[in-house]
Amino acid sequence: MGNIEQVDSIISAGLLHPRALKFLVVDEVDACMGDAGSRAAVERILSGHAGLHETAPKRQTVFVSASLPQRNHFRRQALQQRWCETEPLLIHAQAEEPVPAQLRHFVAVCTPSKRVAALRVLLKQDAPDVHAAIVFVRQGRPMGKIAAALAGIVGEDKEPGVLSEDLSLRARARAMANLRDGTRPVLVTTAMAARGLDIPECSHVYLFDMPATAEDYLHAAGRSGRIGRPGQVTVLCAERERFVLRRIGNALSLEFEDIILRHTKKEYNAPS
């Protein structure tokens, strides 16, 4: 199990012998195919390292994605590139529901300069029901400063954890463990955590910035409402951004409910 490019490097170094594989699972295959480096690694692993050979044992290959575009084209490509012996069987999980039905979707309208203050108000309103929460922010945002501003709202005087790409693997693992066990029940992170994380305890997701696409929203929202549990997703939105949210809602066939921010003037006008 590992990052596709790291697995490719390990195989190239002779530390892993892929021809002995009986099962090969490529998760988030749409993300892998959308990145040049990851795509090249996938092709090397499937066509070269672990390619189909007469002397190799039969292997079952599984491609997993919540948002794979041009699925039929990908299936034909997989066969043409000899990633598998027959065209992949397409299996839908909840084919008519791109987003889990148990999720509720909210929008909180605020001015851009008051996003932190608005997020503080939202967390205070939701705090009694929050088991674990993930706050997604755009790359480049001061995550440490945002986390500090949210300290003590959920959990007794606990500052949210931060998960960023520049952390070591040990620090990332610690941040995830703290979220799971409630040591730090709120996590501030970027889109790096929008795929693959399975945190059944996550009851709330907050999008500090408007997602660029419906696919981005789909993956971030999917961190909540895992394995049939109820979940809540809230987008912080400037009035001028509402049209983007409508497009996302139309693409995913969902409605966003407006949240009224209950706050005092002093609280909302606190420095952000």
pLDDT in tens, 208-239: 999 988 889 988 998 888 777 889 999 999 99
∠ CA 6-8-13, rounded to 5°: 95
- Rounded to the nearest angstrom, the gap between the alpha carbon of residue 10 and the centroid of all alpha carbons in its chain is 26
CB 66 within 8 A of CB 222: yes
Confidence tier at 195 by pLDDT (50, 70, 90): confident
Q: Which of 39-43, 55-59, 177-181, 191-195 has the lowest mean pLDDT?
A: 55-59
Q: Please count the other Cβ atoms lying within 10 Å of the Cβ belonging to residue 237.
A: 23
The residues, any chain, with a CB within 8 Å of residue 49's CB and separated by 6 or more, are 8, 11, 12, 18
Amino acid at 32: C
Q: Please count the other Cβ atoms lying within 10 Å of the Cβ belonging to residue 69.
A: 11
CB 219 within 8 A of CB 257: no
In this predicted model, what pLDDT tens digit does every residue of 86-122 receive, in sequence order? 777 777 665 555 677 888 999 999 999 999 999 999 9
SS3 261: coil
Confidence tier at 240 by pLDDT (50, 70, 90): very high
Residue 252 Rama label (left phi>0; alpha psi -120 to 50; beta)? alpha
Tokens coding 3: 């990052």
pLDDT at 199 > cutoff 50? yes
Q: Could you give the CA distance from residue 186 to residue 153 in angstroms, rounded to a whole number?
A: 9
- Rounded to the nearest angstrom, the gap between the alpha carbon of residue 246 and the centroid of all alpha carbons in its chain is 21
CB 230 within 8 A of CB 236: no
| Higher local confidence (pLDDT), 203 or 37 | 203
Full-model pTM: 0.72
Residue 184 Rama label (left phi>0; alpha psi -120 to 50; beta)? beta
Identify the DSSP state of 170: H
In this predicted model, what pLDDT tens digit does every residue of 170-188 receive, in sequence order? 999 999 999 998 889 999 9
The residues, any chain, with a CB within 8 Å of residue 217's CB and separated by 6 or more, are 207, 211, 235, 248, 252
- Averaged pLDDT for residues 116-131: 92
What is the per-residue pLDDT for 271? 45
